[in-house]
Amino acid sequence: MKKELEEIVGADNVFDDPEILDKYARDRSLFAQRKPSCVVQPENTGEIQAIVKLANRWLIPITPVSSGAHFNGATIPSQSGIILDLRRMNKILHIDKRNRAVRIEPGVTWGQMQKELYSHELMPLIPLLPHQSTSALTSTLEREPALIPKTEYGEPILTLEAVLPHGELLRTGSACVGPPDETQTDLVGPSGPGLDWHRLFQGAQGTFCIVTWMNIKAPPLAKREKVFFIPFQNIEKAVKPLYAILRQMLGAECFLLSRFNLACILAKKWSADFDTLRKELPAFTLILCISGGTILPKEKIGYQEADLRDIARQLKIRLETSLPGVDGKKGTALLTTLRSCWEKEPYWKERFKERCCDIFFYTTLNRIPYFTRLVNTVAAANAYDAGNIGLYVQPVDGGRHCYVEFNFPWNSKEREGIYDLYVNLSRCLVNEGAFFGRPYGLWSELVYNRNSALTATLKNLKNIFDANQIMNPGKLCF
């Protein structure tokens, strides 16, 4: 098999050195490691197709990987096999400034894309401070929420090309009529023909296909911005203002961070700055950016600020333009930090301890306080210090619901305890109605066991696409 793989991608791009395999055997999550048989780094779609066909012949599983750091166990091979490392495919294929879209390969990182888009006066729909090696394509495919909660940005994918588990190519939406370079196809229509295939591939953890390029929405870069910080002493008090701001569709970036998370992000000197910030920052901070374009930008910011001040008066909340304890940085500079990649090691979530366990789900805004209390209670029962739990709330879809992420930093000697906490808390959250839309690891069992008909249908579909079960087996309900 190795020889055949070398014929496809060249000997320099096939690896079975135990040290290299060891790197792919684990990630930064709590999940058990498993070594792959080999690692292959293809350069183009044709090579991926050939590898997939070979894997079908040999009946060997394939686990696609496109980022350099992984946090949820999705790329740990459940049954060994081939790791398909897509990081050599890192081209930004096209930036369409007029139609505000960018077409990228899977190895393109958020930082790489952001830099290019800025030079075209566009910006990426970036999640909160992704790791510098995180693939923008995979992150979008896995539905990581963007910082801007506008409804239209909740569906960022326009079209994509995928290699299916038997090696065939499928292009979705308006890309269906032919390869982008050979036809006049426009690449912006996400629907059909017939089924909306890309929705079936989203959140699938590489179990349905390997995406080779994706055309994604890219909003225009604002010419003028003003950032507000709204402090809250407890999470209960944040709910009403969030509803009010989001229902008026005010601003662009809008998200809430706990003191702990903000201190981890903003501390320059570890741990002195971190300790100071933990004392001085408010318990929770809502960060809201209002922006103006090229036509009457000052007026645009003006009316938004007036509307925001109205809300602030009515709800008796404070609007700040800088944060206590953060010297010399005005709001816009801080936001620039928050909407970039995290360029250094350790990753911001891993500054406090070696690793960080994230538990994330969707719910409605009014249930955040309840889930926060539940998390603190379960954490206390598992002897975890509630003061060290991070919280990130990202409103989605105009505030109709929100993505809630609790962060639990841990050291290697705490692995067992944190695993128990992860299991107990996940169970409690599912029982109380938290919606685990991206069910990684243990969550897949908790989610799919409760919905047998849906699970059976997904399995049926999986069998259609991947009769030999070679695509990342062991993930989701497969």
Partner 1 sequence: MQLSELVKKLKRIVGADWVRQDELHKYYYSVDIATYFGQGAIYPENHPLLIIYPGSAKDVQAIIRLAKQNDIPVYAIGGGTVLLIGSIPGKPDTGITLDFHRMQKVAVDQERMVIRVEPGATGLQVCQLIRHMDFGYRPYFGGSPGTSHFVPYQIFVGQNKLAGYQDGMGINCATGMEMVLPSGEIIRTGSMAHPHAPAWPHGPGPALTYLPFIANAGYGIVTAMEFRLFATPQKTSSLWVMFDTLSAAVKGMYAVIKQEHGCGMCLMGHGCYVHCLYSSRHWQEGVHFIKATKSDIHLVGMAFRGSQSKVAYEREACIKTLKQDGGVPLPSWMVAILDGHETNTAGWQPNNNMRSLGTFNGKYDTGGLFVTSGVFDTLEKLEEHMKQGLQDFSEVCTSYPEFINTPYPSFRLYTSCVQAYLAMGGHANAAGEFIFMVDYANRKQLPLVGELSERFAKTMQTIGSAPLSLGRDKRTWTECSAHFEMAKLIKKTLDPTGFMAPGAAFPASTATGD
Helix axes of 331-338 and 259-266: crossing angle, nearest 10 degrees: 90
| Window of 27-35, 378-386, 419-427, 453-461 that interacts with partner 1 by CB under 8 A | 453-461
Least distance from C-beta 169 to partner 1, angstroms?
7
What distances in angstroms separate CA 426 from CA 365, 378, 432, 441, 442, one per listed residue? 19, 10, 10, 11, 8
For partner 1, which stretch binds (CB under 8 A), given 55-63, 181-189, 333-341, 375-383?
181-189
User: How many Cβ atoms are within 10 Å of 123's Cβ, its own excluded?
Assistant: 19
Q: Quick one: 195 or 386, whose CB is closer to partner 1? A: 195
Choice between 11 and 177, CB closer to partner 1: 177
Stretch of 41-49, 227-235, 335-343, 461-469 contacting partner 1, by CB under 8 A: 461-469
Sole binder of partner 1 in the list 15, 31, 110, 197 (CB under 8 A): 197
Instruction: Decide: 226 and 253 in contact? Cβ < 8 Å.
Output: no
Q: How far is the CB of 36 from partner 1 (least distance, A)?
A: 23
CB atoms within 10 A of CB 320: 14
Neighbour tally for 391: CB within 10 Å: 21
Cβ distance to partner 1 smaller for residue 152 or 345: 152
Give the three-state DSSP class for 170: strand
8 A C-beta contact, residue 144 and residue 127:
yes
Stretch of residues binding partner 1 (CB under 8 A), selected from 71-79, 231-239, 268-276, 426-434 = 426-434
CB of 247 to partner 1, least distance (A): 5
Question: Of 438, 441, 466, 472, which one interacts with partner 1 (CB under 8 A)?
Answer: 438
Show Cβ contacts of residue 41 under 8 Å, excluding neighbours closer than 6 positions.
9, 13, 14, 15, 85, 86, 87, 88
CB of 59 to partner 1, least distance (A): 20
Question: Distance of alpha carbon 426 from its chain centroid, rounded?
Answer: 19
Candidates 185, 261, 372, 407; binder of partner 1 (CB under 8 A) is 185
Task: Give whole-number Cα distances, 103 to 127, 130, 212, 355, 422, in Å.
Answer: 18, 19, 10, 33, 37
Piece in contact with partner 1 (CB under 8 A), picked from 6-14, 263-271, 272-280, 443-451: 443-451
Which of 32, 59, 272, 296 is the binder for partner 1 (CB under 8 A)?
296
Cβ–Cβ under 8 Å, residues 65 and 29? no
Q: What is the dihedral of CA 24, 29, 31, 33, to 10 degrees?
A: 20
CB of residue 452 to partner 1, shortest distance in Å: 9
Query: How does strand 224-232 pair with strand 284-292?
Result: antiparallel
The reply on whether position 417 binds partner 1 by CB under 8 A is no
Q: Which is nearer to partner 1, 201 or 274 (CB)?
A: 201
Site for partner 1 in 226-285 (CB under 8 A): 247-249
Q: Binding residue for partner 1 (CB under 8 A) from 70, 100, 103, 278?
A: 100
Sign of the torsion formed by the C-alpha atoms of 209, 212, 215 and 218: positive
Is 153 near partner 1 (CB under 8 A)? Answer: yes
**Which lies closer to partner 1 via its Cβ, residue 285 or residue 363?**
363
Instruction: Scan residues 312-371 and list those touching partner 1 (CB under 8 A).
Output: 362-364, 366
8 Å CB contact between 442 and 420: no
- In whole angstroms, what is the distance from residue 328 CA to residue 230 CA? 18
Rounded least distance, CB 432 to partner 1, Å: 8
Is 474 a binder of partner 1 (CB under 8 A)? no
Sign for the pseudo-dihedral over CA of 373, 378, 380, 384 = negative
**Contact between 406 and partner 1 (CB under 8 A)?**
no
Question: How many residues sit in the footprint of partner 1 (CB under 8 A)?
Answer: 98
- Residues in 104-133 that interact with partner 1 by CB under 8 A: none
Q: Annotate each residue in 31-70 with x if it binds partner 1 (CB under 8 A) or - if it does not, as one string.
A: ----------------------------------------
Is 277 within 8 Å of 270 (Cβ atoms)?
Answer: no
Does position 103 interact with partner 1 (CB under 8 A)? The reply is no
Figure out which of the listed residues 7, 17, 152, 420 binds partner 1, where binding follows CB under 8 A.
Answer: 152
- 103 vs 96: CA distance, rounded Å: 8
Residue of 190, 206, 251, 331 that binds partner 1 (CB under 8 A): 190
378-397 residues in contact with partner 1 (CB under 8 A) are 396-397
Q: How many helices (H) and strands (E) does the chain have?
A: 15, 15
Q: Which of 41, 258, 304, 472 binds partner 1 (CB under 8 A)?
A: 304
DSSP state of 145: P
Is 20 an interacting residue with respect to partner 1 (CB under 8 A)?
A: no
Cis peptide before 346 (omega within 30 of 0): yes
Lookup result for tokens 């995290």: 342
Task: Give the residue, chosen from 25, 92, 188, 283, that forms a contact with partner 1 under the rule CB under 8 A.
Answer: 188
Which tokens hold the place of 373?
């209390």
